[in-house]
Amino acid sequence: MQEKFAILKTHFGYMGFRPGQEEVIDALLSGQDVLAIMPTGAGKSLCYQIPALLLDGLTVVISPLISLMKDQVNALHDAGIPAAFLNSSLSSGEYAETISRAVREEYKILYIAPERLQRGLPSALTEARHIAMVVIDEAHCVSQWGHDFRPSYLQITEFIRQLAPRPVAAAFTATATGKVREDIIRILNLQEPFTLTTGFNRENLYFEVQKPRDKYTALMDCLKTRRDKSGIIYCSTRKTVDEICQTLASRGFASIRYHAGLEDEERRRNQDDFIYDRKTIMVATNAFGMGIDKSNVAFVIHYNMPKNIESYYQEAGRAGRDGSPADCILLYSPQDVRINTFLITNSQEEEEDRDEALIAHNLELLKAMTFYATTSDCLRSRLLGYFGETAPNYCGRCSNCNTVFKTTDITIPAQKIVSCVYRLERTGRKFGKTMVINILRGSKNEKIRSFALDRLTTYGIMADMDAHRVRTILDYLVDQQYLAVAGDEYPVVGLTERSREVIFDKKPLSMMLPQETKRSAPLDLPEEDAFAAPEAGRGSRAVRSGRPAGRGTGSIGDSTINSAAPDYAAAEGLLEKLRELRARLAQEKRVPAYIIFSDASLRDMCRKMPETSEQFLDVSGVGSLKMEKYGDAFTAVIREWKRRL
């Protein structure tokens, strides 16, 4: 279907789809329900906006936040797409006018808050317009096992059931463990959905954990080099938000605050000041951020540790939406664990209403978050592993890899591991990774004794090495094909042609490993294997992209990036000129600057230096409609810049 490519270029300015986008679009156009787990900035919105233009009827998007609806509608209008929203920000007259225009088929996309589903859509609309598709954004909110359960989302299933004929249903979220995915499918009653996960790795994000003696001093050190950049500081309590915001303002930082204790008007004003770049630093609780489509957030600092990895990943992921390098920094202290433990165990006021299973579940999530904050392993590997995604043990783009990793000689440990597998095969047996590690570390479990594996010469020869470190080296040997893993249901470790290089040729081997340190955890933590990453639902058709989010060859929908990371340092002055022009246009249109163009698009202009309309169309994020609106103004600035060089 060529129409989808025409819409992609004309309205959104891209020549090709990011991995997973086209599959979701095709599934929706074929009438199939969809569950898509795509990280922040990976292009979820485009996955339903293109089908909405091609399907015969109205698309209803259920979205949790007024700010998100406003941003999406502004962006769609700027791209020449008719859309509107229904929420509490509208007066009764505006609400009636929106319904009237929707009945007259003036909109293809209508955003609605989940709280309004109790009233349903007016019959005048549902009788006049065919509802072709219902989109559920932030779908994890439907599950109490997720990190942001919202009871209003439970109204969605009944809303869809009342529509005849039943529309296609599409659920989107940035984070969902296996249990939450199952809940989304079950509660929303998705019919044999096409299930997709595009991968959680975003290479443009730098992850860092600090364990400072004085958090405030550490925060100021972080901000000194980021004074002119846009960023978010997350705090666990309203009091901390107020204190930090006030202190930063007194130090000359353009800071504002956001939490549930503020008046609605102040929250709205502060949010707009941040989105429109009138203020650069937002200090907030986790009440801020869901659905904020601000592409130029350069850093997210967590002053306090969140309760779970899902929350952390989603909040940290609000940085670098346009693919530009961005920093995600966590300031950790054991006090964070104690505070979060208290908040979890006292979250239900009435004793008779306590859900002990839910409390226990949330404490387990807190432990996994604490593992992340206290580990010496690669932080990116920890995050990706939690969501079930395989990752190298060294990324080179996190604080652990840059400070505690070093090149380590693993020749002897590798020989021991491969020898153990060799001797097992000589006895006619093969086992999985855990059994191999248990043999090497001298475990006394019953299975080892019953198979007489404690009589092997390799039994206990790595008793002095941490089990996790043994597994890391074993995984490396498999990755480098010195060993192999075979079998689907019960995978076992076996030898390869390269195994002899290790045990007979004595080949020297080395790898990047964290320096071994004694781990001191603030909680009585179970073995780390207890937090094995959840599996994707069995039977789902998952698409897993090998390409990291944030690096693509075309479109990412919500926010956009270049196909390469250009060296635009020489054109930094031009970039500022383009930003000034963008700011003036945004002010005239009364929209956030990134609605006009993202920073990534401006950088692509600096790289390609387009002087004509035809050349301007080659810029990432420029379609024919935006070329008509803005091409003359931006190419004029570029021509003037080149003339002065």
Q: Which domains does the chain have, with CATH numbers?
A: 3-197 (3.40.50.300), 205-403 (3.40.50.300), 407-512 (1.10.10.10), 569-644 (1.10.150.80)
- Compute the distance between CA of residue 57 and CA of residue 167 in angstroms, rounded to an integer: 10
pLDDT bracket for residue 241 (50, 70, 90): very high
Tens of pLDDT, residue by residue over 349-367, are 555 567 788 888 889 899 9
Q: What is the pLDDT of residue 343?
A: 86
pLDDT bracket for residue 491 (50, 70, 90): confident
The three-state DSSP-derived secondary structure of 617-636 is: CCCCCCCHHHHHHHHHHHHH
φ, ψ dihedrals at 362, nearest 5°: -70, -30
Whether residue 12 contacts residue 46, with contact meaning beta carbons closer than 8 Å, is answered with: yes
For residue 334, give every residue at least 6 positions away whose Cβ sits within 8 Å of its Cβ, in sequence order, or none. Answer: 522
- Summarize the confidence of residues 606-610 as an average pLDDT: 92
Q: What is the pLDDT of residue 127?
A: 82
User: Residue holding tokens 């990280």?
Assistant: 39
Amino acid identity at 547: R
Tens of pLDDT, residue by residue over 575-589, are 889 999 999 999 898
- Summarize the confidence of residues 399-427 as an average pLDDT: 93
The pairing of strands 205-210 and 58-62 is unpaired
Q: What is the pLDDT of residue 468?
A: 84
Three-class DSSP category at 354: coil
**Tally of helices (H runs) and strands (E runs) in the chain:** 26, 17
Tens of pLDDT, residue by residue over 167-178, are 999 999 987 777
Whether residue 546 has pLDDT greater than 80: no
Q: Write the DSSP assignment of 124-191 as a string of letters.
A: HHHHHS-EEEEEESSGGGG-TTSSS--GGGGGHHHHHHTSSSPPEEEEEES---HHHHHHHHHHTT-S
- Compute the distance between CA of residue 179 and CA of residue 372 in angstroms, rounded to an integer: 20
Amino acid identity at 225: T
Whether residue 528 has pLDDT greater than 90: no
Three-class DSSP category at 438: helix
pLDDT bracket for residue 571 (50, 70, 90): low
Whether residue 206 contacts residue 330, with contact meaning beta carbons closer than 8 Å, is answered with: no
Lowest mean pLDDT among 31-40, 59-68, 463-472: 59-68
User: Residue holding tokens 């060799």?
Assistant: 422
Pick the closest to residue 598 from 642, 562, 549, 565 (CA basis). Answer: 562
If you average pLDDT over every residue of the chain, what do you get? Answer: 85
Whether residue 34 contacts residue 80, with contact meaning beta carbons closer than 8 Å, is answered with: no
Q: What is the pLDDT of residue 531?
A: 29
- Compute the distance between CA of residue 355 and CA of residue 363 in angstroms, rounded to an integer: 12
Whether residue 32 has pLDDT greater than 50: yes
Q: What is the pLDDT of residue 128?
A: 82
Amino acid identity at 168: V
Whether residue 499 contacts residue 477, with contact meaning beta carbons closer than 8 Å, is answered with: no
- Compute the distance between CA of residue 408 and CA of residue 342 in angstroms, rounded to an integer: 41
Whether residue 558 has pLDDT greater than 80: no
Neighbours of 87 (CB within 10 A): 18
Lowest mean pLDDT among 123-137, 559-573, 600-614: 559-573
- Compute the distance between CA of residue 244 and CA of residue 283 in angstroms, rounded to an integer: 7
Whether residue 527 has pLDDT greater than 50: no
Pick the closest to residue 296 from 228, 232, 223, 230 (CA basis). Answer: 230
What percentage of the chain exceeds 90 in pLDDT? 49
Whether residue 159 has pLDDT greater than 50: yes
Q: What angle do CA 15, 19, 22 make, to 5 degrees?
A: 65
Q: What is the pLDDT of residue 470?
A: 94
Lowest mean pLDDT among 30-39, 202-211, 240-249, 346-355: 346-355
Tens of pLDDT, residue by residue over 284-327, are 998 887 656 788 899 999 999 999 998 899 899 899 888 889 99
